Structure 1
Amino acid sequence: MLKGSCLCGDVRFTVTGQAFDPAACHCSQCRKMSGHVWAAAIVAEDGIEIEGEVRWFAASPRARRGFCPRCGSSLFWQEHGSGNMDFALGAVDGPTGMHLGRHIFTEDKGDYYDIAQSEPQQEGEG
């Protein structure tokens, strides 16, 4: 079980299901939303409990993004109809026990950083 929260603590979440596919997304939306790279893992929608008010932003016709309306912490990404929820690995309180398995949308990455050649990289989602 993983527990996490936003910066101010108004939104808290508990991952009770099996989290999988930890990845770093370098797409322009994730970079703008996070200020750098969005690192997240996926859990089935019924495997995460969220406490507190989450503000949802329809980021595209495909997905929405959830954040704390008080402190602005970006916490969730959810593809419409997928039945899954991505949660921010940086918002987890304490160790996650995970390691990033891949970098996605690497063609959109910022020009101010490099991704180590040893890291698995994909243009798009793969």
Structure 2
Amino acid sequence: MRKGSCNCGGVAFEINGPIQPPSVCHCGQCRKQSGHVWASAVVQQADLSLAAQDSLRWYRASDSARRGFCGTCGAFLFWQHDDEDTISVAMGALEAPTGLHLARHIFVADKGDYYDITDDLPQSAQ
């Protein structure tokens, strides 16, 4: 089991199942939402349980996905596609040690012009 939360503790969660290797998203929405790139790992929705959710808010990011964040401290915690039974969880919200290692970069075609990707991880345009 892994635990995580937002900065203020208004949203806290547990993951009771496997976590896919995390990826770094460079899309414009993730950069605007997080302030830079967003590292997340995918889990089955059934494996994610909310221990505290009083300040959990959802933002409709597109016609097919929503983003979960804390309405008190503003921490960006989740990304969820409407047609999938998985949810992406912010790596920064997980308690350390996670035991996980970044696996890839996604949406690199949309990356900001103010930084370079300098590691050897696989990169996907989308």
Q: Secondary structure at the match of 1:21?
A: coil
Conserved? CA contact 2:76–2:90, under 8 Å? yes
Any stretches of 5+ residues in structure 2 without a counterpart? none
My pick for the range that moved more, 50-59 or 73-82, is 50-59
Q: CA deviation at 1:117?
A: 4.9
| Paired positions, count | 124
**Backbone CA RMSD of aligned residues:** 0.9
Deviations 1:56-102 (A, max 9, x none): 01100120000001001000000002011110000111111111110
After superposition, the Cα gap between the structure-2 partners of 1:117 and 1:39, relative to the gap in structure 1 and judged at 3 Å, is closer
Give the distance between the partners of 1:8 and 1:117, measured in 2 at CA.
32
Give the distance between the partners of 1:117 and 1:6, measured in 2 at CA.
28
Any stretches of 5+ residues in structure 1 without a counterpart? none
Q: Structure 1 segments of 4 or more deviating over 6 A?
A: none
Q: How high is the TM-score relative to the length of structure 2? A: 0.95
Given candidates 113, 118, 121, the residue that maps to 2:120 is 118
2:53 paired residue number: 52
- What does 1:20-99 correspond to in 2, within 5 Å? 20-50=20-50, 51-53=52-54, 54-99=56-101
Percent pairwise identity: 52
Deviations 1:100-119 (A, max 9, x none): 11000001111111111512
Deviations 1:10-50 (A, max 9, x none): 11011111111310000000000000011000110000111
1:104 paired residue number: 106
Q: Secondary structure at the match of 1:31?
A: helix
Q: How high is the TM-score relative to the length of structure 1? A: 0.95
Give the distance between the partners of 1:41 and 1:13, measured in 2 at CA.
14
